[in-house]
Structure 1
Amino acid sequence: MMPRSIAVPAPRRARSAFAGADVCDIAGLRLAAGARRVIFDQDRWRMELADAHRQISPYELDWDFAEILNPAWRVVTKEILLGLLAPQHEAMVQCPYAPRTVRSPRTCYRYLVYLTLWFNYLTSCGIHCLSEVTQEMCARHLEEQFWSAPSLGLPRWRLEPESVTIVVRTVQVVALYAELLSTDTYQAGFVPWNGRPAAAVVGAKPRGENAVPPVPDQLLQPLLATCLYLAEVVGLRLAEVVEARRTHEAARVMGPVARIADVPRLQALCEEFRERAEPLPKVAANQIARNADRPDHSLRPLAWGHLVSLVGFRKIADTAKPHLAPALLEVAEDVGFAGAWAREAPSIPRYGDDEPVPWTAPLTADDLRTAVGNMMTACAVVTSALSGMRSSELLELEVGCRNPARTVTGGGRRFRLSGKVIKNKRFGGAPDEWVVVEQVDRAIALAERLVGRPRGTALFGNVDLTVRVRTLRAWLERTGLRAHWGLPVIPGGPCGSRMLRRTLALSIAQRPGGLLAAKVALKHISVATTEGYTARPGGSQRLFHAEVEAADEKEHLELTVQAFRDAQAGIMPAGPGARGLIDAFAHIDAELKDAARTDPKILSDDRHLENLLRKLAKTLHVGPANFCWFRDPSKALCLRLAGTPDAKRPLVGMCDSARCPQATHHPCHRPVWAGQAQTIDVFITSRRIAKGEKQRLVPERDRALRVVAEIDAATPVPAERS
């Protein structure tokens, strides 16, 4: 918690506690092999870290303190950031208010950005010493940061309060490290905004429920249907073509360059195209447009590289092209041009009606790359939507992350992915395993085939799913493939990985026991986090109490039914409230007999009996040695003794069931009372108990024996006596 004021700090250090130190060594960050050390005194820290996760951008590990105009405040910023990275350093002992939680380099970079804004703002105001800072300056800086950055042709708008809490924390953090700073600090005792929490300063309201909206059904259903179809039907055909092209290109790079002497061989190849009536290989439409200024207009669509590779050449020399052009022009007039790949596309079942259709028209190399990119989008959407992975966890999936499927009891199979959990873990993340459905396993297998990368490299290079889905939607419509494959129209709208994760959380939590299942599936650190995701803040406590109340109600009903069955068998209740309970049972028994005249099944139907006894069971409160039938609060002895006659529940701990007119004793209570009498007898016969105390215990024993006798008298069946 931010202090309201800070005691007068000790005199500032003459030299920084970190001067000359290795930053990464102090912070416990591992440098990559061959990386240069980062020294505290440098004005630029370029950290090449071995454990950097894939979500962190290179610029977030390149800290340029020279952007801070005041040199003294550069040192202040370095000391604060290193204090955030290494809160357990011995120099931090003197900072009682500094946070003790290790911050990641990514978080510290955000502090660097906003400290730079704050300090340069002070410089622009003519402030050269932090002791001159006032609350008014802090408020003016915050108001400035509340507005968006200027943009050409657009008015500035006011930001949401949650987005500027970092501004308040950054201004306040200088006060927390006053004892550590060596070059400058605030005046003694000054804490911006009097130490109020950042959220309270900016007016941010706490949200019990996660603010990320789920993906609407009208978008989710066609999107998932499309992506599953692409990943499980179209993708397999595409992967075959991609692997064939990969093999072709690997052989092509080993070939020589076709020169003038090789033209006859290439002319023979052209004749083969004519004989087979096969179109010449074509380049993508954008490449045709780029070649518009070339003199050989008729050959602009020709994919020269692919053509010559068919006879083992890597490429054709420009000097050889004019010698081959006449033959190519003649062939082109007869056969035309078409994409070089997937020319004999096998059929696949259309979505919805299973009508066989060719999976694609011939593809150029660029068309193939575009198709692969969109197929990777489909795989990423399926993985995100059906596993609930965060974007950081999707980025950590690597080629080879699929573990062998395990057969489980009952004949099913369990599919697992190895990856990392980044959030709330040490820097770089912690290895973890995801249990996924088979569709996700197949999507990952397809993605591995499509990228063709070595094992251990990143599988998904970009997981901005909203942008990628927009591109996928446009590709399906532009190429006509959506209609060709019979796929549903994907409406517009955002559908990022956070929204898909939230949608899955809501779906799981709506099932019995789903809250805990969602916590496990989404790898949350606490159920409270899951409650926020599932729109049920406070849900675990509410569910717990609801389950307890349901269990109590069930048990009380079973006890009431058992007491009624005992009364039917002649085993009557005892105690002051026995008469009232027997009358209630007699009334219910009469109702059962009346119902039996019209429906003989009623006599053997426990459900009908439970319905008749349910109201009575709701008044039952179980004590340690009695049942309390709390039907009339005015008659409750415990409430009269406590002076709370209007209470809604009895005070079971104050119950004197031997005198309360609503208490009953049953055979199950006999061992308790008999045991009490035996225990008191032990004390009465003991020589170590004072005579006066023995006299006080005699009435207690007599009362216990009287209750035992009443229970025995109400039970006609002989029982073993204590």
Structure 2
Amino acid sequence: MMRRPLPSDPVPRRPESAFAQVDVCELAGLQLISGAQRSLFDDDRWILTGLAQRHRSIQDWELEWDFTEILSPAWRMVTKEIVLALLAPRFEPVLQCPLAVRAVRSPRTANRARIQLTAWFNWLTSRGIRTLAEATQELCEQYLEERSWSIPEPDKPQRRLDPDTLSEIVRTMKLVPLYGELLSTDGHRPGFTPWPGRTAAAVVGARSGRANRVPPVPDHILQPLLATCLYLVNDVGPHLADLLDELRADVAAAARLPRFTVDHLPAMRDVLAQMRAAREPLPAISAQKAAVVEEQADPGPLAYLAANRLGRKIGVRELSRSWAYRHLKDDPVLLELAAEVGFVGAWARAAAPIPRADTGELVPWTKPLADGEVEIMAGYVLTACLVLTCALSGMRTSELAEITVGARSCERPAPGAGSRFRLASRVIKWKPFGGVPDEWVVIEEVDRAVALAERLVGRPAGEPLFGTIMIGDRLANLRNWFERSGNRERWGVPPIPQGPVNARMLRRTLAQAIAERPGGLLAAKIALKHISVATTEGYAARPGGSQRLFLAEIEEAEDEHHVRLTVEAFRDFQAGRLPAGPGARGLIEAFAHVDAELKEAARSDPKVLQHDAHLESLLRKQAQTLHVGPANFCWFRDPAKALCLRLAGTPDATKPLVGMCDSARCPQATHHPCHRPVWVGQAESLTVFIESPGVPAGERRRLIPERERALRVVAELDTAMQEGTV
């Protein structure tokens, strides 16, 4: 009679791997470009850099998988089997594993699993473990504790890693027992699973569903950053693009010129004589080359001469700098000319004037530039184009990397809403490997920045536009260039303060700005209402697109903001700073009811009074009715009472028309202490117009009631404040 297998019995292993001799990419359904290297499962090094669908944000090193980094040959095979099972979960032997992952994982995700398995298996080897059957829960916990700390740095303490980072480690360790039936060389003992019955997030204490923790870019960095980038794109960029066109045409023409010979010496004499007569400076080398020259002990009088540029004036393709220095260093004509006129960059010697950013004073858009300096400046203006595109569209890093030359759609008029611009890209996140095409509705500033970037890079259609999207590194270089070149003082742009800035932070900043600042400005000349409308139209045009996901982030940030505002208004109520306005009585009654509930709950738990989470739960329903206006709060509980809807003739609408709000008369509008400066400012502005002798009498009569209304709102706020503190 056959004995029933016991949990302690070893698991029977396959005599040969189920993946033996298979083509990795063919099994995983990954297409390769023609002529690309193909990798077999039995190879210890898989090269997937020739994938046809690869997106631009994935690096070559992420597609070069060296399994020999795993010290144990048996565990090398285990890792290869798990990695390929993640790529091909519908392979029949994988389907026979009841607990295996069923969703297809991308090569990037599979590589991350490979890296984590390599670290885990090599750690076991360093502890003298030779088979996975020897692995215990205690060993798993020891490994996790060691991996929970950052790599030591000189003069810096170790820090504990974020739970999200640690959860990936635990999740990878828990992969091995999921594929026990598939593994051919080794596996855990029957029934063993690291941290059984607990998810990876629960093991490391990560909280699922928490709010977005990406911080926005602080205003003291954001405002000068966007102001500077707008100036570079709108004022400097067009002139620079024209200059680049001239430079590229010159380079193309030079390819057809002859090489320099001694026969060109008479022509050189004529050119030098003409320059001397016109007192035209000799062409100078770039500032970078000049810095190298200055370090030399005896550079010589012609060390700053751009010999190639002088050769172009003669009519030759190139003039070797070393040859010119050897044969012309003692030439009396050239030496006298250098002493008389000096050296100046050959380009933009008569630069067009542009207004300074601070005073409006007209200044040349650039100092004269050498050949290399034109390309360098173009790279920094391209950074400004990238920052504006990222900050004002909400696109992710991967989506920015997929923008190509020619991705702009023609301007399309939107009835009653001006023009709209569209930008094609690809969505990578949460999509099959390689992503899917998508289109963003963007504002004119973004369209202008992308159009300028296309001119600056000068690449054919279909080529990547921005290249690397490392905004933090590119901004650090931009700051240094501004100070090194002196252009910040020339243009009067504000200094960009030091501080972290990246694409995720800019995306978060835009989401919060739209959610929290109705009708306000993100930066000079950029209306948030315009951006918000463009974002909504992008959602409407492509309901499943990436812009819809961005709009969801905006709505989430808006909900959080409304809860915070409601809590602040409640705290003002508790402190005696009462609201004013037609809807104040109803709001005060609602707050009084919540206050009574808090006090009742505090009798059983004294911590409730200080616990904002409990207060937020009580106020959340009230916060859902809040719509923020520029100078009031609208508590939109009953559409029939909304004055704006009655005036518009749309009493069944689900949202108020904040732009038509007359908060001094609407029964659902309230004014709070935070709104007082707005009304005071309006009253002062109206007073200036009313007292101006240039304002017609009829207009003055129209403005007087407006001022009286503003003053009445201020007086009501002051009265409510006094009554509340009595």
TM over 0.5: yes
Displacement of 1:480: 2.4
Displacement of 1:322: 3.6
* Change beyond 3 A, Cα 1:324–1:163: same
Choose 163-172 or 283-292, whichever is displaced more.
Answer: 283-292
| CA–CA separation in structure 2 for the residues paired with 1:404 and 1:556 | 43
| CA–CA separation in structure 2 for the residues paired with 1:551 and 1:155 | 52
Which secondary structure state, in structure 2, belongs to the residue aligned with residue 257 of structure 1? coil
* Change beyond 3 A, Cα 1:556–1:236: closer
**What is the aligned partner in structure 2 of residue 445 from structure 1?**
451
* Change beyond 3 A, Cα 1:195–1:251: farther
**What is the aligned partner in structure 1 of residue 660 from structure 2?**
none
| CA–CA separation in structure 2 for the residues paired with 1:163 and 1:65 | 23
Asked whether the 8 Å contact 1:263–1:324 carries over to 2, the reply is: no
Note the 1:570-609 alignment, pairs <5 A: none
Of residues 213, 216, 220 in structure 1, which corresponds to 2:215? 213
RMSD: 3.2
Of residues 76, 84, 90 in structure 1, which corresponds to 2:78? 76
| CA–CA separation in structure 2 for the residues paired with 1:450 and 1:557 | 52
| CA–CA separation in structure 2 for the residues paired with 1:538 and 1:373 | 41
**Quick check: 1:50 aligned with 2:74?**
no
| CA–CA separation in structure 1 for the residues paired with 2:512 and 2:158 | 36
| CA–CA separation in structure 1 for the residues paired with 2:203 and 2:637 | 46
Asked whether the 8 Å contact 1:421–1:429 carries over to 2, the reply is: yes
Asked whether the 8 Å contact 1:350–1:486 carries over to 2, the reply is: yes
* Change beyond 3 A, Cα 1:8–1:554: farther
**What is the aligned partner in structure 2 of residue 171 from structure 1?**
173
* Change beyond 3 A, Cα 1:305–1:17: same
Choose 41-50 or 152-161, whichever is displaced more.
Answer: 152-161
Displacement of 1:555: 6.2
| CA–CA separation in structure 2 for the residues paired with 1:8 and 1:179 | 14
Asked whether the 8 Å contact 2:423–2:441 carries over to 1, the reply is: yes
**What is the aligned partner in structure 1 of residue 317 from structure 2?**
314
Asked whether the 8 Å contact 1:209–1:531 carries over to 2, the reply is: no
Displacement of 1:410: 3.0
| CA–CA separation in structure 2 for the residues paired with 1:477 and 1:425 | 42
| CA–CA separation in structure 2 for the residues paired with 1:113 and 1:467 | 26
| CA–CA separation in structure 2 for the residues paired with 1:518 and 1:408 | 10
**What is the aligned partner in structure 2 of residue 124 from structure 1?**
126
Of residues 287, 290, 298 in structure 1, which corresponds to 2:289? 287
Note the 1:531-542 alignment, pairs <5 A: 536=560
Which secondary structure state, in structure 2, belongs to the residue aligned with residue 298 of structure 1? coil
Which secondary structure state, in structure 1, belongs to the residue aligned with residue 360 of structure 2? coil
1:508-550 deviations in Å (ceiling 9; x for gaps):
23459979949939535597655555573999x9689946998
* Change beyond 3 A, Cα 1:534–1:268: farther
**What is the aligned partner in structure 1 of residue 31 from structure 2?**
30
**Quick check: 1:354 aligned with 2:360?**
yes
Displacement of 1:110: 1.0
Asked whether the 8 Å contact 2:21–2:42 carries over to 1, the reply is: yes
Of residues 248, 251, 268 in structure 2, which corresponds to 1:249? 251
Of residues 113, 116, 120 in structure 2, which corresponds to 1:114? 116
Note the 1:600-679 alignment, pairs <5 A: none
* Change beyond 3 A, Cα 1:173–1:610: closer
Of residues 213, 231, 234 in structure 2, which corresponds to 1:232? 234
Paired amino acid for 2:16: R
Displacement of 1:474: 2.3
Gaps of 5+ in 2: 1-6, 520-528, 540-544, 564-616, 628-634, 644-663, 669-726
**Quick check: 1:324 aligned with 2:344?**
no
| CA–CA separation in structure 2 for the residues paired with 1:464 and 1:544 | 42
| CA–CA separation in structure 2 for the residues paired with 1:454 and 1:499 | 31
Choose 520-529 or 183-192, whichever is displaced more.
Answer: 520-529
| CA–CA separation in structure 1 for the residues paired with 2:106 and 2:67 | 18
Displacement of 1:103: 1.2
**What is the aligned partner in structure 2 of residue 475 from structure 1?**
481
Which secondary structure state, in structure 1, belongs to the residue aligned with residue 227 of structure 2? helix
Asked whether the 8 Å contact 2:642–2:666 carries over to 1, the reply is: no
* Change beyond 3 A, Cα 1:294–1:262: farther
Displacement of 1:556: 10
**What is the aligned partner in structure 1 of residue 498 from structure 2?**
492
| CA–CA separation in structure 2 for the residues paired with 1:112 and 1:519 | 38
Displacement of 1:411: 7.0
1:483-502 deviations in Å (ceiling 9; x for gaps):
22122232221121111101
Asked whether the 8 Å contact 2:421–2:443 carries over to 1, the reply is: yes
Gaps of 5+ in 1: 1-5, 559-606, 612-722
Which secondary structure state, in structure 1, belongs to the residue aligned with residue 440 of structure 2? strand
**Quick check: 1:298 aligned with 2:301?**
yes
| CA–CA separation in structure 1 for the residues paired with 2:463 and 2:59 | 17
Which secondary structure state, in structure 2, belongs to the residue aligned with residue 488 of structure 1? coil
Across the two proteins, how many residue pairs are aligned to each other? 557
Displacement of 1:391: 0.9
* Change beyond 3 A, Cα 1:133–1:338: same
**What is the aligned partner in structure 2 of residue 20 from structure 1?**
21
| CA–CA separation in structure 1 for the residues paired with 2:261 and 2:641 | 96
**What is the aligned partner in structure 2 of residue 40 from structure 1?**
41
Paired amino acid for 1:213: P
**Quick check: 1:366 aligned with 2:390?**
no
* Change beyond 3 A, Cα 1:548–1:154: closer
Choose 249-258 or 62-71, whichever is displaced more.
Answer: 249-258
Asked whether the 8 Å contact 2:233–2:384 carries over to 1, the reply is: yes
* Change beyond 3 A, Cα 1:495–1:608: closer
Asked whether the 8 Å contact 1:260–1:319 carries over to 2, the reply is: no
**What is the aligned partner in structure 1 of residue 279 from structure 2?**
277
Paired amino acid for 1:205: R
Of residues 387, 395, 408 in structure 1, which corresponds to 2:393? 387
Which secondary structure state, in structure 2, belongs to the residue aligned with residue 418 of structure 1? strand
* Change beyond 3 A, Cα 1:224–1:543: farther
Asked whether the 8 Å contact 1:502–1:534 carries over to 2, the reply is: no
Asked whether the 8 Å contact 1:169–1:198 carries over to 2, the reply is: yes
Asked whether the 8 Å contact 1:388–1:522 carries over to 2, the reply is: no
Percent identical? 48
| CA–CA separation in structure 2 for the residues paired with 1:17 and 1:254 | 62
Which secondary structure state, in structure 2, belongs to the residue aligned with residue 328 of structure 1? helix
| CA–CA separation in structure 2 for the residues paired with 1:319 and 1:231 | 40
Which secondary structure state, in structure 1, belongs to the residue aligned with residue 301 of structure 2? helix
Which secondary structure state, in structure 1, belongs to the residue aligned with residue 430 of structure 2? coil
TM-score (norm 1): 0.72
Which secondary structure state, in structure 2, belongs to the residue aligned with residue 103 of structure 1? coil
1:63-90 deviations in Å (ceiling 9; x for gaps):
0001111111111111111111121222
Asked whether the 8 Å contact 2:96–2:181 carries over to 1, the reply is: yes
| CA–CA separation in structure 2 for the residues paired with 1:319 and 1:215 | 53
**What is the aligned partner in structure 1 of residue 261 from structure 2?**
259
**What is the aligned partner in structure 1 of residue 706 from structure 2?**
none
**What is the aligned partner in structure 1 of residue 696 from structure 2?**
none
1:270-318 deviations in Å (ceiling 9; x for gaps):
2222112111111123323434559761111111111102233222255
1:219-252 deviations in Å (ceiling 9; x for gaps):
1111111111110111001111111111111122
Paired amino acid for 1:79: E
* Change beyond 3 A, Cα 1:531–1:190: farther
Asked whether the 8 Å contact 2:148–2:160 carries over to 1, the reply is: yes
**What is the aligned partner in structure 2 of residue 638 from structure 1?**
none
Asked whether the 8 Å contact 2:44–2:68 carries over to 1, the reply is: yes
Paired amino acid for 2:231: Y
1:173-209 deviations in Å (ceiling 9; x for gaps):
1011111111111000000012411122122234521
**What is the aligned partner in structure 2 of residue 695 from structure 1?**
none
| CA–CA separation in structure 2 for the residues paired with 1:608 and 1:479 | 57
| CA–CA separation in structure 2 for the residues paired with 1:143 and 1:293 | 55
